[in-house]
Amino acid sequence: MSWRLKRILVVNLFLSSKRKVSFNRLVARVKEAGAEVSILDHLALPNLGPSQLAKSHDGIILSGTEALFTRTTDRKQFENLFHYLPKIEMPILGICGGHQALAIAYGGEVRKAGHLVEGYRTVELEDKDTLLAGLPAKIRVMQSHREEVKPLPPNFIRTAKSDDTDNEGMKHETKPLYGVQFHPERWNEDNQAGKRILENFIEKIALAKHT
């Protein structure tokens, strides 16, 4: 056995090319966290066989999106993704809109948050499992969302909450599936919890070895 860089597929859920900067920031931060990265659009992902994905990648990160899943026209653009995600048997981390897409795919729902939640906010960790290992009970992370996951999908448990959002984080009870409503990739020198979360997904959850 030999160690190698973990191969992470970062899936772009943004609908507009104007969001390229946001997606590129995520890709750069995943690389910085120690991964070999490839990228794919959410429309193209369902064209790949799940076994093909498992052979070529160790984990998947679903990006945020400006789409509103409570808006029918937006939601329809992701229907193929919703049907496809449960077929994947490998680690997945959903970020913001990706967190919401993962929840919908597994039978949860997304509702309007009532107001825009934006900026660095305090999040309380309830289940410091592998993804949230090594972090304090409360962290400061960047938020930018108008919708939230509620209720959680069956067989998922809440891992984090805040005053603004009930379900800031979730994980599947038995599968390596994780979601966070906030943006871990938007960490800075004063608020580095997001960096640890990306590193944990890459180093502790994505496959670490090959023969």
57/18: higher pLDDT? 57
Q: Are residues 106 and 153 in contact, defined by beta-carbon separation less than 8 angstroms?
A: yes
pLDDT tens-place string over residues 39-88: 999 999 999 999 989 999 999 999 999 999 999 999 999 999 999 999 99
Between the CA of residue 181 and those of 57, 64, 170, 191, what are the distances in Å?
A: 24, 9, 9, 16
pLDDT at residue 4 above 80?
A: no
210/122: higher pLDDT? 122
| Beta carbons within 8 Å of 181's beta carbon, 6+ residues apart | 96, 99, 100, 143, 145, 148, 149, 165, 167, 168, 169
Domain positions in the chain are 2-210
- What's the predicted TM-score (pTM) here? 0.95
The residues assigned a catalytic role are 96, 183, 185
Q: Which tokens sit at 97?
A: 């809109």
pLDDT tens-place string over residues 88-97: 999 999 999 9
CATH fold for domain 2-210:
Rossmann fold (3.40.50)
| Beta carbons within 8 Å of 84's beta carbon, 6+ residues apart | 45, 46, 105
pLDDT tens-place string over residues 176-187: 999 999 999 999
As a whole number, mean pLDDT of residues 133-156 equals 97
Q: Which tokens sit at 48?
A: 């790949």
Residues 116, 85: Cα–Cα separation, whole Å: 27
Nearest to 29, CA basis, from 177, 190, 192, 204: 192
As a whole number, mean pLDDT of residues 177-200 equals 97
Kindly state the percentage of the chain with pLDDT values over 70. Answer: 96
Environment class of residue 170 by beta-carbon count within 10 Å: exposed (0-12), middle (13-18) or buried (19+)? Answer: buried
Tell how strand 59-62 and strand 92-95 pair up.
parallel
pLDDT at 18: 82
As a whole number, mean pLDDT of residues 119-138 equals 95
Residues 141, 195: Cα–Cα separation, whole Å: 10
Tell how strand 156-161 and strand 169-172 pair up.
antiparallel
Mean pLDDT, the chain, rounded, equals 94
